Chain A
């Protein structure tokens, strides 16, 4: 560790540790285990197997936001004039473009990569270190690419939905994604005050979205999960190819639903006896819950803990898949170029 200069700060050390951990774990994991796990995931097909754990993490993040991040962000928004806020947001967006270019290339989107390199060059020079987004004005569109998307393009499955402390919604594929994105963002190396500003900026920009969730969501946890997963899918497919397929799937599902409920409507009167039995079973369940409430509480805590370790396993597996994908990526890019 002493080979790293001290002033590069905590984040460099953290990233290095994570990368070392990744390599170590990748070495440990055997391929047999991975195959089994994938089969299991296919059978379960649940996107959110760790819901209880995720919900408590969501609750933790929410209170952290309410009592810490939101007040600070409100103060920042109040103190800072609009043009300064825009400048700061542009500055960090410009630094992110470095990572966008890297991921353009890794996904084989060469033309887009050239355009995004142009964006970064124009904004860093004429745009005064990125404070002004000149590139958008001259028609170089901003793209959203990150390493989790690249992993998806390489064929790494999303894995289960995860809510990470502080960072929020993710999937197990998003964990190596976030590590790479942090490492590829120059802002991570500038120093602590800049990183604090980066967090302030991120929270301030999320203000509108978070307010919208509060207004619209009946269940903010589910609302956040669904919109996050759907939007990520949209980004991965660049909003083009799969949308009609998705709609087809949805429509099929709704059609089945239709048939089911139509069937039910005709059977309505005959079905009644069948409806009664689940209710009585539920009643018994509730009594059990009352009697053994304390034990259940305890077991739900251990369940949370198990879920936490399971979700870590999922993340580790994704890291492992990421490293194998790295090896295959070279071949794939060459293939894409040939096409």
Chain B
């Protein structure tokens, strides 16, 4: 009887052991997958800022095209450019044909990357500092950071992120209270209403050319 109990207990322990290690294995998979697949909103922003600083440090060697290539990868990984392009034209979006929507999203992405490649071309001791994180009512997240300039007042950079599927993506940047998305939205809707779609695309292309030249 006693033997049986011991046997049973032994099995039980073995069983538990297996069970635990199985659970541990499952946990390990979870832990391993999380950083790869599901970066938190904060990590998305910090990774992007790091890559931006790296490009700035190598800015002169890379040249415009080099900076563009590196930033393109970094921006696509961290921003929801399709959604931004859609928000930026506001209610005008639904008046566009499918072809126009594709065209707009394309040139808009090009313009956004060009603007970064043009404006962040050299490094003189700047850095980013993470401050805090806020949740918004609609399930978004705001990451508060400051851009520290060595010879000037700090600039507040607030990033607004939303989930695209399982991944957090930046949809707006607010620099010292000035919302990039709101600013662009006013501009784009105004140009669309006053001058039309073709003129908007022409203006965007002109900006892209200027950024590449200077």
Which residue numbers of A lie inside 8 Å of B, CB to CB?
141-142, 215-219, 222-223, 225-227, 230-231, 233-235, 237, 239, 243-244, 246-248, 250-252, 254-255, 257-258, 260-261, 264, 275
Beyond A247-B160, A254-B171, 4 additional contacts (C-beta under 8 Å) are A250-B160, A251-B140, A252-B137, A257-B91
Q: Restricting to B136-193, which residues have a CB under 8 Å from any CB of A? A: 136-138, 140, 142, 153, 156, 158, 160, 171-172, 174, 176-179, 181-183, 186-188, 190-191
Consensus secondary structure, chain A interface: helix
Q: Taking A218-B203, A255-B138, A261-B86 as contacts, is the C-beta distance between A230 and B183 under 8 angstroms?
A: yes
A261–B172 touching, CB < 8 Å = no
- Residue B204 lies at the interface, judged by CB distance under 8 Å to chain A: yes
Q: Which residues of B contact A254 (CB under 8 A)?
A: 87, 171, 181
Question: Closest CB of chain A to B140's CB: distance in Å?
Answer: 6
Interchain CA distance A255-B118 in the complex, whole Å: 31
Q: Which residues of B contact A231 (CB under 8 A)?
A: 176-178
- Residue B93 lies at the interface, judged by CB distance under 8 Å to chain A: yes
Which residue numbers of B lie inside 8 Å of A, CB to CB?
86-87, 90-91, 93-95, 115, 118, 134, 136-138, 140, 142, 153, 156, 158, 160, 171-172, 174, 176-179, 181-183, 186-188, 190-191, 194, 200, 203-204, 207, 210-211, 214
Cβ-defined partner of B94 (8 Å) among A227, A247, A264: A264
B204–A218 touching, CB < 8 Å = yes
A230–B177 touching, CB < 8 Å = yes
A-B contact pairs, 30 of them (CB 8 A): A141-B153, A215-B118, A215-B214, A218-B188, A218-B200, A219-B187, A223-B183, A223-B187, A226-B187, A227-B178, A230-B178, A230-B183, A231-B177, A231-B178, A234-B176, A234-B178, A235-B177, A239-B177, A243-B177, A244-B142, A247-B174, A248-B136, A250-B172, A251-B136, A251-B138, A254-B171, A254-B181, A257-B91, A257-B93, A260-B94
Q: Which residues of A contact B140 (CB under 8 A)?
A: 251
Interchain CA distance A247-B172 in the complex, whole Å: 10
Q: Which residues of A contact B190 (CB under 8 A)?
A: 219, 222
Cβ-defined partner of A222 (8 Å) among B91, B179, B187: B187
Question: Closest CB of chain A to B183's CB: distance in Å?
Answer: 5
Q: Which residue of A lies closest to B95 (CB)?
A: A275
Q: Which residue of B lies closest to A216 (CB)?
A: B115
Q: Which residues of A contact B176 (CB under 8 A)?
A: 231, 234, 239
Question: Closest CB of chain A to B98's CB: distance in Å?
Answer: 9
A218–B207 touching, CB < 8 Å = yes
Q: Which residue of B lies closest to A244 (CB)?
A: B134
Q: Which residues of B contact A219 (CB under 8 A)?
A: 187, 190-191, 194
Interchain CA distance A218-B202 in the complex, whole Å: 10
Cβ-defined partner of B182 (8 Å) among A248, A250, A252: A250
Cβ-defined partner of A215 (8 Å) among B137, B153, B188, B210: B210
Question: Which 4 pairs show the lowest CB-CB distances between chains A and B?
Answer: A234-B177, A264-B94, A230-B178, A226-B186
Cβ-defined partner of B186 (8 Å) among A225, A237, A243, A248: A225
A250–B177 touching, CB < 8 Å = no
Question: Closest CB of chain A to B121's CB: distance in Å?
Answer: 13
B136–A247 touching, CB < 8 Å = yes
